[in-house]
Chains A and B, each alone.
Chain A
């Protein structure tokens, strides 16, 4: 039973099924396994790259801060549309920096809620650890 401390392992151990020396199944608690910790790290490493690339696109004026928050919150247009109630084509349109600037506070508030942030932070790409 591997016991490599994962980020989950700090909060809860997980139940795994394993066989004892007689081949009989029992449950044991594991705090993690190196192989899957690195699998998760690999996924987050890729996400970090995507967030950085999105941030650069916003800074270059090629996309609105929406793109940054979508990558930050791992959301595609379908998920954003689900949380905000906008249509997907509207979300895609709001990715345009010019269009985004013209959005009403009411619409921005919907995005802020979806991303669990404030309108101000949304505009400035500010994130707080949560």
Chain B
């Protein structure tokens, strides 16, 4: 079975899958940054009463699945999305789609993903890849974060499609129902909608867990970690934050660089709205997240660790919160030219 599909590597799995699935339909116009921005992918959330891998639940991106759905919806592309209770039915459904000559997106867990290095295997269930063919019992896999393509046999694929734990995929499969031509006008509207949604997510979600108030609140909390958790545990917490921020899939700087790239591309579609200039603020925010990460590394490596160091760590986040607040307020005030 050979399906017309080209593997392209990306920084982030979901925006990469979105771009790769929409590549033909969009004539190559929907790039990874555009998918990320239209899908309102940028986020920050820290939920203190949930633990992930014995550490804090911190994310720098919006909820899994939102990017693909939002991007398709705002480009008026109908989406088929299915979950399954039965593993057999999930495989039959996948095989039928492949037989129709469709490449499809699948949500998977990474813990039992055979081609991932062991060090990267955690019970993270919101990874995304494309299945684009089958050869005997082997499925052809395009994982956007990998340079090349991979192969999984039916048992291996079933295992990751039915990974267990938080956000378990339940065989989740998704694809654009039909290839529709995407016009520049649609892209322009979608960009505006994506920015508007992201402004809301970062500025207006009530409570102090999410958005810029979440960053600020986390900064204040970090200052208390040393007393509250002890040096070793707070080091672990900071290491987890840095991993969520910089690890594979983020494009670096907690997705802030991808968002900066999005605004630059958006500026070409919608000139005269200062989007390129605002992009620069996100580059700066990404740089600041990285500076904070270097400081955090000093703590978890045990090189530094005084209360003063924790205060400084917290202050980095307060500064970032203020900067990103100003960036999103500027985006909010745009009177579209």
Residues of A within 8 A of B (CB): 6-8, 10-19, 23-25, 27, 29-30, 33-36, 38-40, 42-44, 46, 50, 73-76, 78-79, 81-83, 116, 130
Assuming A40-B243, A79-B123, is B257 touching A17 (CB within 8 A)? yes
Chain A residue numbers with a CB within 8 Å of B242 are 35-36, 39
Q: Which residues of A contact B240 (CB under 8 A)?
A: 39, 43
- Contact B147 A16, beta carbon cutoff 8 Å: no
Residues of A with C-beta under 8 A to B83:
none
Within 8 Å CB of B258, what residues of A? 17
Does B84 touch A at the CB level, under 8 Å?
Answer: no
Stretch of B199-207, B210-218, B244-252, B322-330 lying at the A interface:
B244-252
B71 to chain A, nearest CB (A): 18
Neighbouring A residues of B168 by C-beta, 8 Å = 82
State which of A15, A34, A82 has its C-beta within 8 Å of the C-beta of B251. A15
Q: Are A8 and B120 interface neighbours, CB within 8 A? A: yes
User: Pick the contact of A35 from B53, B55, B257, B294 — CB < 8 Å?
Assistant: B294
Q: Which of B140-164 contact A (CB under 8 A)?
A: 145-148, 164
Given the complex, which residues of B lie within 8 Å of A44, measured CB to CB?
Answer: 119
Q: Write out the residue numbers on chain A whose beta carbons fall within 8 Å of the beta carbon of B236.
A: 42-43, 46
Cα-based distance from A17 to B9 in the complex (angstroms): 12
B257 touches A18 (CB 8 A): yes
Given A14-B145, A27-B11, A42-B239, list of 16 further CB < 8 A pairs? A8-B119, A11-B146, A12-B148, A17-B11, A19-B260, A25-B260, A29-B147, A36-B293, A40-B120, A42-B301, A43-B239, A44-B119, A74-B111, A74-B123, A78-B165, A130-B118
Name the B residues within 8 Å of A40 (CB-CB).
119-120, 239, 243, 247
The 9 closest A-B pairs by CB, nearest first: A82-B164, A25-B261, A17-B257, A42-B239, A79-B165, A39-B239, A15-B11, A39-B242, A7-B119
Given A12-B147, A17-B11, verify A43-B53 contact (CB < 8 Å). Answer: yes
* Pair A38/B297 contact, Cβ less than 8 Å: yes
Number of contacting residues on B, CB 8 A? 51
Within the complex, what minimum Cβ distance (angstroms) separates A37 from chain B?
9
The contact of A38 among B119, B147, B301, by CB within 8 Å, is: B301
- A43 and B243: CB pair below 8 A? yes
A66 to chain B minimum Cβ distance, whole angstroms, is 16
A33's partner among B120, B148, B246 (CB-CB below 8 A) is: B246
Q: Identify B54's interface contact among A10, A39, A46, A79, CB under 8 A.
A: A46
B201-243 contacts to A, CB under 8 A, are 235-236, 239-240, 242-243
Is B115 in the interface zone, CB < 8 Å from A? yes
Selected contact of B300 from candidates A14, A39, A74, CB within 8 Å: A39
Cβ of B112 < 8 Å from any Cβ of A?
yes
**A108 nearest CB across to chain B (Å):** 18
Return chain A residues, CB-CB under 8 Å to B119.
6-8, 40, 44
* Cβ A75 vs Cβ B123 within 8 A: yes
> What is the bound-complex CA distance between A11 and B117, given in angstroms?
7
B93 close to A (CB within 8 Å): no
Chosen A-B contacts, 21 in total, with CB atoms closer than 8 Å, are A7-B120, A8-B117, A8-B119, A15-B251, A17-B257, A23-B280, A24-B264, A25-B261, A25-B264, A30-B252, A38-B301, A39-B239, A39-B246, A40-B119, A43-B243, A46-B54, A78-B164, A79-B123, A81-B164, A82-B168, A83-B164
Specify which of B118, B283, B300 is in contact with A42 (CB 8 Å cutoff).
B300
Name B235-285 residues within 8 Å CB distance of A. 235-236, 239-240, 242-243, 246-248, 251-252, 257-258, 260-261, 264-265, 279-280, 283
Q: Hey, which chain B residues are within 8 Å of A12, CB to CB?
A: 145-148
B35 within 8 A of A: no
Chain A nearest Cβ from B299, distance in angstroms: 10
User: Please, which residue of chain A has its CB at the minimum distance from the CB of B242?
Assistant: A39
Residue of A11, A24, A25, A73 with most chain B CB atoms under a 10 A cut-off:
A25
Residue B10 lies at the interface, judged by CB distance under 8 Å to chain A: yes
CA gap between A36 and B228 in the complex, in Å: 25
Residues A11 and B300 in contact in the complex (CB < 8 Å), given A24-B264, A79-B164: no
